Amino acid sequence: METKPFEVYLITAPGYWYIGSTIIGATKRFNQHLAGYSGAPRLWEKIKELGTDSFRQVVVERGYGNPLESERAWFDFYLANDARKSLQVQRPGGWAPEVNTGRIPSEETRSRMSIARMGLKRSPAQRAKMSAAQKGRIMSAEHRSKISATLTGKILTDDHKANISNALKGKGIGRTLSEAHVEAIRSGHSTIEAKANMSASQQSRRQREKEERDQHAY
Let me know whether 163 and 101 are in one domain. no
Let me know whether 89 and 166 are in one domain. no
- Other C-beta atoms lying within 10 Å of the C-beta of residue 196: 12
% pLDDT > 70, the chain: 50
Greater pLDDT, 142 or 173: 142
Let me know whether 176 and 195 are in one domain. yes
pLDDT at 208: 77
Statement: residue 176 has pLDDT above 70: no
Torsion of CA 105, 107, 110, 111, to 10 degrees: -160
- Cα–Cα distances (Å) from 135 to 58, 164, 167, 210, in that order, read 16, 21, 19, 33
Question: Can you give the residue range of the structural domain that contains 17?
Answer: 5-151
Statement: residue 137 has pLDDT above 60: no
- pLDDT tens digit sequence for 78-127: 998 988 999 998 888 765 444 444 444 556 656 665 655 555 566 676 66
- pLDDT tens digit sequence for 36-70: 988 899 999 999 999 999 999 999 999 998 899 89
Gap between the Cα atoms of 61 and 126, Å rounded: 7
Gap between the Cα atoms of 129 and 106, Å rounded: 28
Gap between the Cα atoms of 49 and 6, Å rounded: 29
Let me know whether 44 and 11 are in one domain. yes
Let me know whether 68 and 172 are in one domain. no
Let me know whether 127 and 183 are in one domain. no
- Mean pLDDT to the nearest integer, 140-158: 63
Let me know whether 63 and 122 are in one domain. yes
pLDDT at 100: 43
Let me know whether 93 and 136 are in one domain. yes
Last residue of a domain, one of 102, 128, 151: 151
CATH code assigned at 17: 3.40.1440.10
Greater pLDDT, 153 or 210: 210
Let me know whether 105 and 28 are in one domain. yes
Gap between the Cα atoms of 207 and 39, Å rounded: 66
Gap between the Cα atoms of 78 and 86, Å rounded: 9
- pLDDT tens digit sequence for 68-80: 989 999 999 999 8
Rounded to the nearest angstrom, the gap between the alpha carbon of residue 92 and the centroid of all alpha carbons in its chain is 19
Tell whether the torsion through CA atoms of 128, 130, 132 and 135 is positive or negative: negative
Let me know whether 144 and 37 are in one domain. yes
Strands (E), 30-166: 56-64, 85-86
Gap between the Cα atoms of 216 and 210, Å rounded: 10
Let me know whether 137 and 185 are in one domain. no
Size of the chain in residues: 218
- Other C-beta atoms lying within 10 Å of the C-beta of residue 102: 13
DSSP for 136-200, please give it.
TPPPPHHHHHHHHHHHTTPPPPHHHHHHHHHHHTTTTTTPPPPHHHHHHHHHTS--HHHHHHHHH
Mean pLDDT of the chain: 75
Q: How far apart are the first and last CA of the chain?
A: 74
3-state SS assignment for residue 104: coil
Let me know whether 171 and 143 are in one domain. no
The number of domains in the chain is 2
